[in-house]
């Protein structure tokens, strides 16, 4: 099982979201942690090529993977998260 670390940016992004959406994001990250080995992760392109994305409705969570550590780097609406 992997460990999950939230960056200060991701936590700040999470605080700005509606509480229902924020709860869904946290639940999805927990799901990611529990099912990490069985998933095919979606890698981003160009400037964001070192990041992966996790879809939660219209919201996205971006993260990096290093050994057994998943670092949540950002959380936001799909129209804003990739800017």
| pTM for the whole structure | 0.89
Q: How far apart are CA 39 and CA 18, in angstroms?
A: 27
Distance, CA of 60 to CA of 68 (rounded, Å): 21
Q: Edge-to-edge, what's the strand order for the sheet holding 52-56?
A: 3-6, 69-77, 59-66, 52-56, 42-43
Task: List per-residue pLDDT tens for the chain, 83 residues long.
Answer: 789 999 999 999 999 999 999 999 999 999 999 999 898 888 989 988 899 999 999 999 999 999 889 999 999 999 998 88
In this prediction, residue 7 carries a pLDDT of 96
Domains in the chain, start-ordered, CATH in brackets?
3-77 (3.30.2310.20)
The residue among 2, 82, 1, 4 whose CA lies nearest residue 43 is 82
Residues found in the chain: 83
């Amino acid at each position: 099982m992997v460990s999950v670390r939230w960056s200060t940016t991701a936590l700040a992004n999470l605080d700005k979201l509606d509480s229902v959406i924020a709860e869904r994001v946290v639940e999805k990250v927990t799901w990611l942690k529990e099912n990490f080995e069985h998933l095919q992760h979606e890698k981003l392109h160009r400037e964001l090529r070192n990041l992966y994305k996790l879809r939660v409705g219209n919201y996205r969570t971006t993260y990096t993977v290093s050994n057994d550590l998943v670092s949540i780097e950002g959380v936001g609406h799909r129209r804003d998260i990739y800017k």
